[in-house]
Amino acid sequence: MDFQLTSEQRELQETARSFATQEMTEVARELEEKDEAPSREHIKRYAEMGFLGINVAEEYGGLGLGNLEALIVLEEFAKVSPAVAFPIFESSVGPCRAVEHFASSELAKQVLPKVCAGELTVAVAMSEPDAGSALTDLKTRVKEEGGKLILNGQKRWCSGGGHAEAYVAYCKMSDAPGAKGIGAVYVEKGMKGVSFGERERLMGFRGIPSADIFFDNVEIPEENVIVPAGGFRQLMEAFDLERCGNATMCLGIASAAFETALAYTQERKAFGKELVEFQAVQMKLAEMAMRVEASRLLIYRAAKNAEDGLPSVLDSSLAKCFANEIVRDVTGSALQVMGAYGYSKSYGMEQRLRDGWGWGIAGGAIDIQKVNIAAALVGRRFNQRA
């Protein structure tokens, strides 16, 4: 058991940190102010640096590294802002991994090299107006009509909705009840019958567009089926990695909040001495540091246990749930330590609080993760409908 990063991993981490802080800090401020996603030029630059598809196989245009390496890079970008980190999230721990692991090689070869080259963005479309935590209540449906696959339905709370060029859409693909009837298809933005609602205005996540997606008799080529009916378990296996990405977004935000507060308390003076000299402040700094380091270890364990595959539901849910909770604590404490400066939009801490809170809602709410953890511990699922 080794808790140290390898020299190669440290070099990758430093490269990501330098790029994110030097080239994306000002960009992140603009994205936050204008509520815009990173431009195609920025994403192309990510591709040139090898930051897209870090853990995607080389045959599909990725670097072929492991999940841990992808999360290391994601954390450094998330320290700057979730908006600048999101393209890395989508390409390394998001829907692209479902395409890589479960779609046909033909579809993977069509999609993934474009993603890794910064030419294509793929988002996941899961939730619906009446299906969020109860994901098996999906109403979006694919039916075979006249030898064709026809998709109808509506998706909500899709990060990237209306902005991404393609979507991995979860849907009912048979009349089998619950999870047994669920699969997923690959849908392109320009397909006839695909449309979008108004842009969502959220508390945080500025720079990560979100909108309803409407599917109206969309004809889906058979080769665009990622997993057929009954593939819900496979989709959730891929989503276990996305949970680790969600946790890493929280980790990056919390880590940046802690580092900012630590520096501030050594610069700011009150009653003639640095804030860090006060024991109450020391307690807060110590608690923040403990939470950040513990979260990082849980995430790294989940990634390492999976190696290049997909994490377990227990490891990923533990990592996500803990990170979702500590980012709220850490950003709140950091804001309090900084006082009015923390509350001011000019210093970025209030943004971290807003952004950090959202990750405990996105990708499976905190309480759902606790149900997952309990189910994994006892080795059986709990019926929430009983």
pLDDT tens-digit readout, 153-197? 999 999 999 999 999 999 999 989 888 999 999 999 999 999 999
More confident residue, 59 or 235: 59
For the segment 60-89, the average pLDDT, to the nearest whole number, is 97
pLDDT tens digits for 345-368? 999 999 999 999 999 999 889 999
Query: Does the pLDDT of residue 309 top 90, yes or no?
Result: no
Taking the C-alpha atoms of residue 352 and residue 256, their distance in angstroms, rounded to an integer, is 9
Burial class of residue 361 in the structure, from the number of CB atoms within 10 Å of its CB (0-12 exposed, 13-18 middle, 19+ buried): middle
Taking the C-alpha atoms of residue 311 and residue 239, their distance in angstroms, rounded to an integer, is 9
Give me the pLDDT at residue 91, please. 96
Give me the pLDDT at residue 231, please. 86
Query: Does the pLDDT of residue 67 top 80, yes or no?
Result: yes
Give me the pLDDT at residue 130, please. 87
DSSP assigned state of 379: T
Query: Does the pLDDT of residue 275 top 70, yes or no?
Result: yes
For the segment 98-106, the average pLDDT, to the nearest whole number, is 94
Which among 302, 296, 348 is positioned nearest to 327, based on CA atoms?
296
Give me the pLDDT at residue 17, please. 98
Residue 158: how many other CB atoms lie within 10 Å:
24
Q: Can you name the residues that pair with 152 across neighbouring β-strands?
A: 141
Taking the C-alpha atoms of residue 53 and residue 11, their distance in angstroms, rounded to an integer, is 18
pLDDT tens digits for 21-57? 999 999 999 999 999 999 999 999 999 999 999 999 9
Which among 297, 315, 317 is positioned nearest to 368, based on CA atoms?
317
For the segment 230-243, the average pLDDT, to the nearest whole number, is 85
CB 351 within 8 A of CB 379: no
For the segment 87-108, the average pLDDT, to the nearest whole number, is 94
Taking the C-alpha atoms of residue 54 and residue 99, their distance in angstroms, rounded to an integer, is 15
Q: What percent of the chain shows pLDDT beyond 70? A: 99
Query: Does the pLDDT of residue 308 top 70, yes or no?
Result: no
- Exposure string over 326-356, b if 16+ CB within 10 A, otherwise e: bbbebbbbbbebbeebbeeeebbbbbbbbbb
The pLDDT-based confidence of 135 (bands split at 50, 70, 90) is confident
Query: Does the pLDDT of residue 307 top 80, yes or no?
Result: no
Q: Which of 109-113, 141-145, 365-369 has the highest mean pLDDT?
A: 109-113
